[in-house]
Amino acid sequence: MVELCELAELENNQDLISEIISQMQSLKSKGRRGELEALLCGEVDANNAFLEVHSGSGGTEAQDWAEMLLRMYTRWAEAHQYKIEYIEESEGDVAGIKSATIKIIGHNAYGWLKSESGVHRLVRISPFDSNARRHTSFASVGVYPDIDDKINIEINEADCRIDTYRASGAGGQHINKTDSAVRITHLPTGIVVQCQNQRSQFQNREAAWNMLRARLYEIEVKKREDAEKGQWDAQGDNGWGYQIRSYVLQPYKMVKDLRTEVETSDVKSVLDGDIDLFLEAALADKVAK
C-alpha cells in the first residue's frame, strides 16, 4: 500500500491517490470497529437481540416517529448483514406505528445495540400540521438479549396472563393475519410481550415466552448494575424518564447523543441507519467508566 502510494505520487495520479486514501480510511474504520468488538465480552453480548419501538404521547406525529426509528434500525441491521425477523407490529391510527418488535439475528447483535434502549426525541416541522408548525415527538426503544438455554430464567406461569387474538398490522408482508397471535402479561412486573408473525399459536406462544425471558433477564441485569451504583429506584424498565438522543431537523440539523456528547449534522444518513458513531461511542464510554 505504501509503495503504491509513493508510485501514485510520483506519477501524480490523483485518481489512484484518492482510491488509496479511501481504502486506508476504510481499513482504519474496520480496525477501530474490530478493537471495539473485542470489548463485547458480556454474558449475552454475542446473542441475537429483540428490539422494541413504542410511540410516545402525541398521536400521529409520535407514531410516525416510531416508524422512522424502526426503519433506522432495520437499515442498520441490513447494512451489517444481520437477519431481521418481524415479531409484531401495531399500526398507527393514521400513519406510522404504535409499537413494533423485531428480532435482529447475528453475532454480537445485542452487544452493539444494547446502548440504544431509552427515549429518542425528534424535533421537526410536522408533515401532519397544515400550519407547518414545529413539533417535538418522543418514542422509546428497548433492546433485550435473546436468551439461550445456558441462562436459566424461571417464570411462574401462575404469575402470567395469556391472551390470544387475531393478528393485525400495517406490515402485510411481515404479519400473518390469523387467529393465532399470543400476548403474555407478566403480572408482577407489568411486562407485556406479544408475537403474531408465526402461523401457529404454539409457535407464537413459544416466541412470546422467549421474549418474556429476555425482558426479565434484562431487568435483573440492570438492577444489579444500578444497585452497585446505588441508583436503583424502582423506575421499572420502560425508561421514559431517560432521554438518550435528540434528532433535530428544524430549525437546524443535528443528531446528538446526550450521554456521550457525540453529534453529527448528517441527519439523513443517521435516519438511513448510519448509527455506528453512536454505538461505538457508547461502547467506548462504558469501557472507559
List 123's β-bridge partners, or say none: 136, 248
pLDDT in tens, the chain (289 residues): 556 666 656 667 667 667 766 766 666 566 566 666 667 877 889 999 999 999 987 789 999 999 999 999 999 999 999 999 999 999 988 889 999 999 999 999 999 999 999 999 999 998 887 787 888 999 999 999 998 766 778 899 999 999 998 776 544 444 455 568 899 999 999 999 999 888 788 889 999 999 999 999 888 887 776 655 554 343 334 345 568 999 999 889 999 999 999 999 999 999 999 999 999 999 888 765 5
Indicate whether 28 and 124 sit together in one domain: no
Q: Are 65 and 139 in contact (CB under 8 A)?
A: yes
C-alpha dist (Å) from residue 235 to 141, 159, 219? 16, 21, 11
Q: What is the Cα–Cα distance from 29 to 116, expressed in whole angstroms? A: 21
Together in a domain, 261 and 229? yes
Distance CA 245, CA 262 (A): 10
Residues 84 and 141 grouped into a single domain:
yes
Asked if 189 and 114 sit in the same domain, the reply is yes
Question: How many domains, in total, are found in the chain?
Answer: 2
Q: Domain with 186 in it: what CATH number?
A: 3.30.70.1660
Residue 197 grid coordinates: 408473525
Count the neighbouring beta carbons within 10 Å of the beta carbon of residue 98: 18
Task: Please answer whether residues 70 and 150 qualify as being in contact, where contact means their C-beta atoms are separated by less than 8 angstroms.
Answer: no
Task: Indicate if 205 and 255 belong to the same structural domain.
Answer: yes
Give the C-alpha separation, 70 to 52, whole Å.
Answer: 8
Q: How far apart are CA 122 and CA 250, in angstroms?
A: 10
Do residues 283 and 261 both lie within one domain?
Answer: yes
Q: Which domain holds residue 19?
A: 2-37
